[in-house]
């Protein structure tokens, strides 16, 4: 029997096929969107610190990825036989098919999302925490946009899979494309011709939506975005004195205090009974060999690392306390409420990749509702002007040099008007020629009276700018003195040996 092309062509004007195609579109798009949402919740659950939530999410994913979709479809469609009250909605093939598809796809998209979540740089999450942004805010402002963009190519592929899986819904008598074709070829026995048309309808849906989703992927691709042009009028309007913006009420004798801090990782104690008092307007450099506990110490000062014992006071009031001495609930709340007063600049910049420079600086003040959006925008531009980057306000972090990114990070911290600024080796990730531009900004802040604690290997800077030098080794503070005292010499052979490897400018 010859292949009947005229019959195949005639099927493209068949109303039943187009109605079935619309059903497939509705079913696949709805399943994809609901699956994305449900899958993201499951992915977060699987990464939860709560073992019950993590176990429940893992169990769901394991079960529904193991269960054949065909079995699930038939099971759900026949639930009304046991529970007649569900017949009003599960008796509808579209609803039953949608529920089965979403239950199944949520398990698959959860693992896709988990890959996206794991790909979001941990440093960006820490930056959000350091800015006082709570869990939900971090997910909304930082994680979800990036994780979705990272996962989108795989999610697009999953949509194509869903379109093809809709053919299985024919087993519960939903009039989708395959079922319409089956009804035709059982009447005329033109099996190959009918299935050719069926295949063409599926290919058409996949092609159209594949094109639309690829366009969405290109739109969300940050690498394709062109840097915006800063408004000269707005920039000039930001050329205001920032000294007043940085003035804060000095509460207590010390801006920041660490009292007998101890930090352990298992049996390894990395901070051993360290106490540190930072006066208002004082600039302290923490130096020492690698592995001495400098970075851990500074991260304990703002809660990115949790003390085992000891206490941190901020502006004379309780801020952090060790695990072994904290009161349930109260210590965590006071930390979350007051962390906005501690600015943090990281070694690796930790700018939010999908946000412009200006958005990075504005994000936390807007989240905390410090002022109107326009007032925050002007303050943010002023801080960018302060670090010499106002003309780059509408660029993205990847379009800047390392030194420029670090200066943006400083502006972002300053926009929160912190009481204390913490710097964790702010120049160690930079090329030598970019170090000077960052140190120049920090020096300017020191001249303006900003209270700062800086972990650094830049000895010329530390001894030339700072009021005190704290030398650490093996988790202990061995020396805490003004630079002039240490330059005159000490009886510590270890400190002298450390200082032999650096050149101190006269």
pLDDT category, 493, cuts 50, 70, 90? confident
Distance CA 141, CA 463 (A): 39
User: What local confidence, expressed as pLDDT, does residue 65 receive?
Assistant: 94
Residues 6+ apart with CB under 8 A from 221: 149
Q: Is 226 among the domain residues? A: no
Last residue of a domain, one of 187, 220, 253: 220
Residue 471: both structure tokens together: 């030398």
Q: Residues 324-349: what's their mean pLDDT? A: 79
* Same domain, yes or no: 290 and 428: yes
The domain that holds 436 is classified in CATH as: 3.40.50.300
User: What local confidence, expressed as pLDDT, does residue 45 receive?
Assistant: 94
- pTM of the full predicted structure? 0.85
Q: Is 228 among the domain residues? A: no
Is residue 365 scored above 70 in pLDDT? yes
User: What local confidence, expressed as pLDDT, does residue 230 receive?
Assistant: 63
* Same domain, yes or no: 337 and 434: yes
Question: What kind and span of H or E run contains 464?
Answer: helix 459-465
Considering only CA atoms, which of 165, 142, 136, 125 is closest in space to residue 41? 136
b/e map 11-38, b = 16+ CB within 10 Å: beeeeebeebbebbeebbeebbebbbeb
Residue with tokens 């020629």: 433
pLDDT category, 306, cuts 50, 70, 90? very high
Q: What is the DSSP letter of 489?
A: -
* Same domain, yes or no: 35 and 65: yes
Q: Residues 61-84: what's their mean pLDDT? A: 94
Model confidence pLDDT, tens digit, residues 470-492: 999 989 998 999 988 888 777 77
Question: What kind and span of H or E run contains 283?
Answer: strand 283-287
Is residue 271 scored above 90 in pLDDT? yes
Is residue 338 scored above 50 in pLDDT? yes
* Same domain, yes or no: 215 and 359: no
User: What local confidence, expressed as pLDDT, does residue 497 receive?
Assistant: 72
User: What local confidence, expressed as pLDDT, does residue 245 receive?
Assistant: 45
* Same domain, yes or no: 429 and 299: yes
Percent of the chain with pLDDT over 90: 70
* Same domain, yes or no: 92 and 162: yes
Q: Is 380 among the domain residues? A: yes
User: What local confidence, expressed as pLDDT, does residue 240 receive?
Assistant: 47
Is residue 504 scored above 70 in pLDDT? no
* Same domain, yes or no: 404 and 283: yes
H/E/C letters for each residue in 214-271?
HHHHHHHCHHHCCCCCCCHHHHHHCCCCCCCCCCCCCCCCEEEEEEEEEEEECCEEEE
Model confidence pLDDT, tens digit, residues 124-145: 999 999 999 999 999 999 999 9
User: What local confidence, expressed as pLDDT, does residue 500 receive?
Assistant: 67
Last residue of a domain, one of 165, 191, 220: 220
User: What local confidence, expressed as pLDDT, does residue 234 receive?
Assistant: 54
Provide the domain limits for residue 351. 236-500
Model confidence pLDDT, tens digit, residues 200-214: 999 999 999 999 999
Q: Is 505 among the domain residues? A: no
pLDDT category, 431, cuts 50, 70, 90? confident
Q: Nearest-5° angle of CA 319, CA 321, CA 324?
A: 165
Q: Is 311 among the domain residues? A: yes
Is residue 333 scored above 80 in pLDDT? no
Q: Phi and psi for 315 in degrees, rounded to 5? A: 55, 35
Is residue 246 scored above 60 in pLDDT? no
Q: Is 255 among the domain residues? A: yes
* Same domain, yes or no: 385 and 412: yes
* Same domain, yes or no: 463 and 355: yes
Is residue 43 scored above 70 in pLDDT? yes
Q: Residues 490-501: what's their mean pLDDT? A: 71
Last residue of a domain, one of 188, 220, 252: 220
Distance CA 379, CA 326 (A): 37
- Contact (Cβ atoms closer than 8 angstroms) between residue 456 and residue 426: yes
* Same domain, yes or no: 171 and 269: no
The domain that holds 14 is classified in CATH as: 1.10.3720.10
User: What local confidence, expressed as pLDDT, does residue 241 receive?
Assistant: 42
Distance CA 17, CA 20 (A): 5
Residue 364, classified by CB atoms within 10 Å of its CB into exposed (0-12), middle (13-18) or buried (19+), is: buried
Is residue 498 scored above 90 in pLDDT? no
Percent of the chain with pLDDT over 70: 92
* Same domain, yes or no: 185 and 245: no
Q: Is 230 among the domain residues? A: no
Is residue 71 scored above 90 in pLDDT? yes
Residue 177, classified by CB atoms within 10 Å of its CB into exposed (0-12), middle (13-18) or buried (19+), is: buried
Model confidence pLDDT, tens digit, residues 159-178: 999 999 999 998 988 888 99
* Same domain, yes or no: 213 and 245: no
Domain count, the chain: 2
Q: Is 422 among the domain residues? A: yes
């Amino acid at each position: 029997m010859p292949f009947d092309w005229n019959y195949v062509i005639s099927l493209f004007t068949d109303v039943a096929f187009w109605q079935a195609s619309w059903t497939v579109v509705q079913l696949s798009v709805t399943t994809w969107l609901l699956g994305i949402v449900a899958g993201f919740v499951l992915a977060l659950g699987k990464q939860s610190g709560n073992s019950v939530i993590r176990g429940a999410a893992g169990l769901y994913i394991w079960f529904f990825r193991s269960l054949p979709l065909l079995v699930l479809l038939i099971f759900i469609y026949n639930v009304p036989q046991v529970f007649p009250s569900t017949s009003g909605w599960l008796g509808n093939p579209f609803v039953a098919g949608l529920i089965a598809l979403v239950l199944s796809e949520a398990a698959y998209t959860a693992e896709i999302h988990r890959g996206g979540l794991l790909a979001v740089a941990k440093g960006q999450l820490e930056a959000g925490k350091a800015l006082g942004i709570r869990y939900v805010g971090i997910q909304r402002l930082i994680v979800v946009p990036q994780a979705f963009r990272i996962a989108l190519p795989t999610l697009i592929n999953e949509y194509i899979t869903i379109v093809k899986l809709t053919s299985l819904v024919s087993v519960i008598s939903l009039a989708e494309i395959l079922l319409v074709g089956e009804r035709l070829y059982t009447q005329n026995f033109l099996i190959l011709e009918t299935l050719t048309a069926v295949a063409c309808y599926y290919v058409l849906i996949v092609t159209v939506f594949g094109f639309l989703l690829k366009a969405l992927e290109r739109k969300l691709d940050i690498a394709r975005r062109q840097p915006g042009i800063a408004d000269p009028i707005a920039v000039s309007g930001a050329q205001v004195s920032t000294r007043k913006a940085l003035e804060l009420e000095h509460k207590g004798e010390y801006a920041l205090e660490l009292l007998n801090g101890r930090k352990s990782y298992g049996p390894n104690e990395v901070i051993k009974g360290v106490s540190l008092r930072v006066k208002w307007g004082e600039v302290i450099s923490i130096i020492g060999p690698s592995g001495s506990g400098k970075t851990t110490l500074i991260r304990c000062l703002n809660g990115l690392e949790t003390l085992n014992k000891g206490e941190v006071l901020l502006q004379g009031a309780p801020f952090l306390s060790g695990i072994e001495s904290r009161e349930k609930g109260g210590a965590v709340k006071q930390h979350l409420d007051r962390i906005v007063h501690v600015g943090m600049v990281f070694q690796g910049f930790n700018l939010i990749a999908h946000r412009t420079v200006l958005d990075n600086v504005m994000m936390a003040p807007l989240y905390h509702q410090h002022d109107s959006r326009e007032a925050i925008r002007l303050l943010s531009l002023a801080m960018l002007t302060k670090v010499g980057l106002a003309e780059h306000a509408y660029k993205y972090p990847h379009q800047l040099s390392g030194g420029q990114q670090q200066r943006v990070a400083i502006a972002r911290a300053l926009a929160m008007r912190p009481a204390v600024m913490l710097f964790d080796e702010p120049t160690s990730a930079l090329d030598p020629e970019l170090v000077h531009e960052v140190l120049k900004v920090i020096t300017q802040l020191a001249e303006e009276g900003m209270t700062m604690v800086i972990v650094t290997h830049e000895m010329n800077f530390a001894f030339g700018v700072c009021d005190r030098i704290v030398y650490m080794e093996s988790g202990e503070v061995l020396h805490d003195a003004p630079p002039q005292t240490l330059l005159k010499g000490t009886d510590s052979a270890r400190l002298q040996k450390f200082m032999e490897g650096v050149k101190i400018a006269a």
